[in-house]
Structure formats: C-alpha cells, structure tokens
A = this chain, B = another copy of it.
Amino acid sequence: MSTALKIESETVRVPAVVRGARTVRVALAGCGTVGGELVRMLHHGAAETRARHGLRFELVRVLVAHGERPRPDELDRARLTTDLDAFLAAAAEADVVVEAIGGIEPALSIARAALARGKRLVTANKALVAAHGPELAALARRHGGRLDFESAAAGGIPVVRALRESLSLTGIRSVRGILNGTTNYILSRLEDGWTFADALADAQARGFAEADPSRDLSGEDAADKLRILAWLAFGTEPARLDVRRRGLKQGADRLARAARALGGAVRFVAEAARVPEGIVASVEPVLVAAGGDLGRTRDEENLVIVESEWNGRIRLGGPGAGGGPTASALLGDLVRPAQRHRAPRRAAAPAVPDRRAHAWAIAVERGTSAEEALRATLDRVEVDVDRIVRGEGVSVKRTRPVAWPRIGLALRALEVQGLSPGILRVEG
C-alpha cells in the first residue's frame, strides 16, 4: 500500500495540468508499424482524449533503431533518438514507458529499468511477456508500478483485460481460438483452392506475413500468445507451459483437401485447457466444422473462445494484428490507469433522430385486402417498392432505401385503416 501512496503523492506533487487536462509523459520505444500508428493516434485523437478522459499525452522521447527511416509526419523529429542510454534517461522522467519494439532485447532491459523505477510499462511484446511476464509483474508489484499488455495477444480484441479482470474467477475450463492472422489468412486461401506457396506470397504482399514468416508458420507466435492467455486464465507460469506445437508447412494444402473430403475446414487452433492434473496446451492444425465459430473465422481475423463453469461460452472476435488494432490496444492501456474507473466526463456526441435511409420489408397476410391497402398507402407516401416476395401465407414488399419517418407515416396510415403490417428494417 505504501507504494500506491507514493504514486498518488508523486502525482499530487507534480500536477501538470494543461487546460483542465492532466499531462501524461510518454516515452515510446519503437516506431515501426505499431509505434508509428500509436504516434498518429495520439496526435489525431488528442482532442477526444482530452474531452473524454481529461488527459493529454506528451511524447517525450522515441527510441528507434534506424535514425534515417521514414517516420509519421505527426512525429516531432527532435524527440527521436537511436541511443538506448539517452532513451532510458528520458524514460526515467516519464510517467509511462511504451515498448513497441518486439523481441527480447533491448525490450527486456527497457522494461526492467522502467518497472524498477516504479513506472508504468505498456508493452505490445508477446515474446517478452510470454518469457518474462511473471518477473515483470513482480517488479511492478514491488515498486508500485504497473504492467499492461492488452496488445500482446489478439491485437485489438480486448481479451487480456477480459481474462485478467472479468473472467478470472468464473471457473475457466478452456481458452482456445485463432491467435495468428497470417496462418489463418493462408488457410483461408488454401480453402479457396490456392497453393501454399501462392497463399504465403499473397499474405506477405498484403503485409500480414513477415519476410521471414517462420514464427507464424511454426506456431511459435501463437504459442507465445497462448502462454500469456493461459497465465491470465489459470495462473500457469507462461514460460513453463508445455505447448504441443505442430506447424503449418508446404503440405498444408493437403490438409485443406483432406478437410474438404471430410466436410470440414482446417484452422490453426491454439488451446489451453484444464484437465484434472493441470493445464494442457497445444497449437496445431485442427479439423473444425466449416459453419462453426472457428470455421467461419476467415482471413486475418482472430477469435478467442473462453469456456467456464459459471459464465458459459464467451466469444471474442476481431482483427488480431495490424498497426491500427494493436496501437488501439496500446492506447487503451495508456488511457485506462490514468482514467482510473471514471465514466465519460461529458456528452461527447448529442443524441439525434435517425434520418438514415434503410430498405424496409413490410409484410401482410397474403390474399387479404391488406395487400391492396399496403400498395396504395406506399404509393400515397411515395415509398418505392423494389421487390415483392410471396411465401408462407405472407406477401412482403421490400422498399427502396428511405428514412424511418416516412415508413412510420405509412404505418400510421395503415393502422387508421385497422391494419397492422409487420415491418423489418433490412440490414446492410
């Protein structure tokens, strides 16, 4: 508790307030795909961050490996450094250190230095958390800092927070899903009949797969994420989790053909489950139902399914990688502890009536006077019908896109005539 007091009192001693917003000084290590996107989000989201959360983020220093590479226009070049010591000195004065480099070193040194000084560390680094998470968490506890890593597993899907806070006491039985977008993209192309080589080349051309995709294909990337999720779900030391791992290879197109022959689909499934003896884990190609949750997760999407005794089956799906989603998750970790548990501060957007145009399906019983009344009424309020369908005793008129007030008008006109048609908004 004394450390918590210390953090609070430090904040009280240095009340850097700018126009009603509290300033949070951020030292950022890494400015590639993820770090660069975070720089852009901090810049373009500044007004919203201030209005919604009362916070102003200030980038005090940005560590990069290569000084000459192109960087986001939004980045003040004076903040850039390629010198680790200079960065660590700046980080010691910052409120929070964001690590978006990846790999073990120098990420581990940066993380240890930040946490040993009681700083907040936010990291997107799955390899780091999978190998050193408990050590870093212990450092954070000991020195009154904190460690957040929502972006280290499943990108923009808020599964780390869900496991850590919402679901940790629900009696979790298993956590499984699709944790690697590259291999899921490749499997989706194999499903479409492509060769493995073409699918891999396409994934690389689209930027999902690295020039060296071996960590994706071997399952090491998914295994690191699974280690993190198993740590949160079951308390199992991540570095000691024994993950049975069978990767995707050239022969994967044969797996896709085999799955089709069996009437299913192949997915590269990561799973950690509780058995009576402890926790088992695997990352391997699995035959799944084509129309099930896993089978329907295609392209670079990720999906995490958490099954528990008290809470049933929770599914969390979305983009598992990419600069935007990963940087979004970093930003959430940046905002959260500063925001604490506060609800939004003001009405950021007023409520207004819905004037958007939709198609509507209006159904009446077939072969009744309602059919003719509906036609006449839609004519009168000038709503165009683009399709009429009859079946199962109903006659359905599908309108061209039109805003609700006009359909509401038609509805009231019909009700005056004693008719009550069924009305569906047509999605999409």
Contact = CB atoms under 8 A, between A and B. Distances in A.
Interface of A: 1-2, 4-5, 8-9, 11-12, 15, 37, 41, 45, 48-49, 51-53, 133-134, 137, 140-141, 146-148, 150, 156-158, 161-162, 164-171, 230-232, 234-237, 240-242, 244, 246, 251-252, 254-255, 257-262, 266, 269, 273-275, 277-282, 284-289, 291, 294, 296, 308-319, 322, 324-325, 327-329, 331-332, 335-337, 339-356, 361, 363, 365, 389-394, 396, 398, 404, 420, 422-428
Given A2-B12, A15-B1, A240-B351, A166 B161 contact: yes
B11 A8 contact: no
A322 B167 CA distance: 16
Nearest to A176: B427
A31 to B, nearest CB: 17
Contacts of A328: 166-167, 169-170, 308, 310-311
Given A48-B169, A137-B343, A5 B8 contact: yes
Name the residue among A166, A235, A331, A390 with the largest chain B CB count within 10 angstroms.
A166
Main SS at interface, chain A: mixed
A314 B158 contact: yes
Contact of A234 (B259, B342, B349): B349
The 10 closest A-B pairs by CB, nearest first: A235-B348, A137-B343, A261-B391, A258-B363, A280-B354, A278-B352, A158-B166, A314-B318, A235-B344, A166-B332
B286 A427 contact: yes
A164 B343 contact: yes
B255 A424 contact: yes
B341 A45 contact: no
Nearest to A11: B1
B313 A424 contact: no
A43 B129 CA distance: 33
Nearest to A165: B336
A237 B396 contact: no
Contacts of A354: 244, 275, 280-282
Nearest to A250: B420
A51 B324 CA distance: 37
Given A280-B356, A422-B251, A347 B162 contact: no
Given A156-B310, A269-B427, 5 more contacts: A158-B166, A254-B363, A261-B389, A287-B426, A311-B319
B332 A165 contact: yes
A332 B314 CA distance: 14
B318 A317 contact: no
A262 B397 CA distance: 10
A317 B280 CA distance: 25
Given A168-B332, A281-B354, A351-B236, A422 B255 contact: yes
A351 B241 contact: yes
A128 to B, nearest CB: 13
A2 B12 CA distance: 8
8 contacts: A137-B343, A158-B166, A261-B390, A278-B350, A287-B426, A287-B427, A315-B316, A317-B317
Contact of A171 (B9, B45, B244): B45
A342 B168 contact: no
A398 to B, nearest CB: 7
B285 A423 contact: yes
Contacts of A341: 140, 146-148, 337
Given A262-B396, A314-B158, A45 B9 contact: no
A230 to B, nearest CB: 8
Given A162-B162, A235-B345, A279-B352, A332 B287 contact: no
